[in-house]
């Protein structure tokens, strides 16, 4: 019955419209595993225990990561209404350009976890990771409303200052194991609406790689972005290519084409654009939130991205397996020999000891390796830095002969939607005989249109080869 419920709620119509039901129902996997083991017995359960064991290890590590409440988070509402969150990370935190985080705000919902793409690059050595939240559903609209209300309250004076307690939890980063876009000499990035976010991370990453003189970085990047309102371009203001790589024009050709299909009227968020809100544990400022400490709780990366993290995962798995074997042997020897019945242990007790051995192996032995590997993991903190302040100073500096922001580099077309056939015809002529990576992030219709054009151009003789990639974290 539990398996049937999980299967029905996993169907796309139910999952997309009733995600909370889908998420809650899938917690029945424990019931499913338990009754399956009691039904088939411990011997048959061992045939599929390898995958189940790895799944439980993953769930254990995700639980450890997600239970930490992050502090020192800053938020800002852009003119388009999009919320920018800057989440503190510890030094050495690495993630790929197309990574995403799962974020939970208990003040809105304790059960809902939502994925958001990273808009920054770990190569910038920043103390924060940026994500953009577009208010489309109930959860995102509630987050925006709480932040806007707090900003309005703060503007009334210090006596009414009591910030919204953004107790934020995060899991991740997840996503691609490698930056596959680096293997292409040319890139076409096609985005619709909030789909520009992962491409901002790619642009940040490429600019930093060109500054570091890395040879494998693409040399020609064309960005095509379709938006409804011109106010959505405010997300481009935070990236200043000349600030990241002053000589980027020598080795990188960067073109941005923006198609504004519907220019909305005035919005109510322009007044909050320049205001940034710092969140802590209490209704005080950043220093009080840390209780006199100059440090904040950050995300701890438990996903295998670097070689050291890969070794950590291997050590956790091996220790968990060793603990499982040891505990199974002890239970089988001391519990089974104490029974005088010729039939051995009842199946229910036998299966219970089997799961108990699994739990002890993962939690005690695997968790012990994690603590021994990095004793400071459970209290990951980082010093508060003045990154944002230093950035504001730099942004006020004039960089000669370079556009100030990505927004200044845009070619804006109002009215019609992009004509992908014409765009890809020109690209095929321009990149003749070369492989071009085409990354698309946006609605299904946009992805289908771009995929059709890639296929059509690839069938033509002696033209450029377009390699289509859909960027999405849909379940």
CB 279 within 8 A of CB 163: yes
- What's the rounded Cα separation, in Å, for the pair 97 and 198? 7
The pLDDT of residue 7: 85
Tell me the whole-structure pTM to 2 decimals. 0.76
Q: Evaluate if residue 160 carries a pLDDT over 50.
A: no
| Three-state DSSP state, 475 | coil
Q: How far is CA 445 from CA 200, 353, 442, in A?
A: 22, 52, 8
* Region 63-73 average pLDDT: 77
* Region 330-337 average pLDDT: 70
Q: Evaluate if residue 274 carries a pLDDT over 80.
A: no
Q: How far is CA 72 from CA 102, 289, 383, 413, in A?
A: 18, 8, 10, 39
Tell me which CATH code domain 73-300+389-470 carries.
3.40.50.80
**Angle, CA of 51, 17 and 26, to the nearest 5°:** 25
State the DSSP string of 214-265. -TTS-SEEEEEEEES-GGGGGGGTT--HHHH-TTHHHH-EEEEEEEES----
The pLDDT of residue 166: 65
CB 170 within 8 A of CB 419: no
What the block records as the tokens of 430 is 């321009």
* Region 361-380 average pLDDT: 77
The pLDDT of residue 78: 82
Q: Evaluate if residue 292 carries a pLDDT over 70.
A: no
Query: How many residues in the chain?
Result: 475
The pLDDT of residue 395: 33
Q: Evaluate if residue 439 carries a pLDDT over 90.
A: yes
Q: Which of 45-59, 210-224, 340-354 is least confident?
A: 340-354
Which range, 141-145, 364-368, 469-473, has the best average confidence (pLDDT)? 364-368
The pLDDT of residue 460: 77
Domain with CATH 3.40.50.80 in the chain: 73-300+389-470
Query: Which neighbouring-strand residues pair with 256?
Result: 223, 410
Report helix angle 307-337 to 347-360, nearest 10: 150
CB 109 within 8 A of CB 139: yes
pLDDT confidence of 467, banded at 50, 70, 90? very high
The pLDDT of residue 283: 36
Q: Evaluate if residue 278 carries a pLDDT over 50.
A: no
Nearest to 449 by CA among 422, 430, 413: 422
- Phi and psi of 175, rounded to 5°? 125, -150
State the chain's mean pLDDT as an integer: 76
* Region 259-277 average pLDDT: 57
State the DSSP string of 451-465. HHHHHHHHTSTT-PE
Of 377 and 427, more confident: 427
């Amino acid at each position: 019955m539990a398996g049937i419920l999980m299967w029905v709620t996993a169907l796309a119509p139910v999952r997309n419209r009733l995600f909370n039901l889908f998420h809650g129902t899938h917690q029945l996997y424990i019931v499913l595993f338990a009754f399956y083991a009691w039904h088939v017995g411990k011997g048959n359960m061992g045939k599929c225990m390898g995958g189940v064991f790895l799944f439980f290890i993953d769930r254990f590590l995700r639980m450890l990561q997600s239970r930490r409440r992050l502090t020192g988070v800053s938020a800002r509402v852009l003119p388009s209404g999009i919320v920018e969150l800057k989440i503190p990370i510890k030094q050495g935190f690495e993630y790929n350009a197309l990574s995403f985080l799962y974020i939970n705000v208990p003040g809105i919902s304790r059960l809902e976890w939502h994925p958001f793409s990273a808009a920054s690059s770990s190569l910038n050595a920043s103390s924060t990771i940026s994500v953009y939240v577009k208010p489309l559903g109930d959860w995102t609209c509630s987050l925006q409303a709480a932040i806007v209300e707090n900003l309005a309250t703060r503007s009334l004076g210090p006596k009414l200052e009591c910030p919204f307690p953004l107790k934020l939890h995060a899991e991740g980063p997840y996503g691609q194991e490698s930056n596959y876009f680096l293997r292409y000499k040319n890139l076409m990035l096609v985005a619709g609406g909030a789909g520009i976010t992962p491409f901002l991370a790619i642009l940040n990453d490429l600019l930093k790689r060109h500054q570091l003189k890395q040879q494998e970085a693409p040399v020609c990047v064309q960005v095509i972005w379709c938006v409804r309102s011109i106010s959505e371009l405010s997300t481009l203001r935070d990236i200043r290519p000349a600030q990241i790589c002053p000589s980027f024009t020598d080795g990188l050709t960067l073109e941005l084409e923006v198609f504004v299909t519907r220019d909305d009227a005035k919005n109510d968020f322009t007044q909050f654009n320049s205001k940034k809100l710092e969140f802590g544990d209490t209704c005080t400022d950043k220093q009080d939130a840390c209780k006199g400490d100059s440090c904040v709780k950050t995300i701890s990366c438990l996903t295998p991205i670097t070689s050291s993290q890969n070794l950590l995962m291997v050590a956790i798995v091996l220790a968990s397996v060793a603990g499982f074997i040891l505990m199974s042997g002890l239970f089988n020897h001391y519990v089974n020999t104490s029974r005088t019945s010729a039939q051995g242990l009842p199946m229910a007790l036998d299966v219970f000891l089997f799961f108990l051995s699994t739990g002890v192996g993962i939690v005690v032995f695997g968790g012990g390796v994690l603590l021994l590997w990095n004793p400071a993991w459970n209290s990951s903190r980082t010093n508060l830095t003045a990154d944002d302040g230093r950035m504001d100073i730099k942004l006020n500096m004039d960089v000669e002969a370079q556009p100030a922001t990505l927004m200044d580099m845009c070619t804006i077309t109002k009215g019609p939607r992009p004509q992908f056939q014409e765009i890809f015809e020109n690209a095929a002529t321009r990149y003749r005989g070369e492989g071009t990576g085409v990354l698309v992030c946006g609605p299904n219709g946009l992805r289908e249109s771009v995929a059709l054009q890639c296929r059509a151009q690839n069938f033509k003789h002696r033209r450029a080869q377009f390699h289509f990639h859909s960027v999405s974290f849909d379940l």
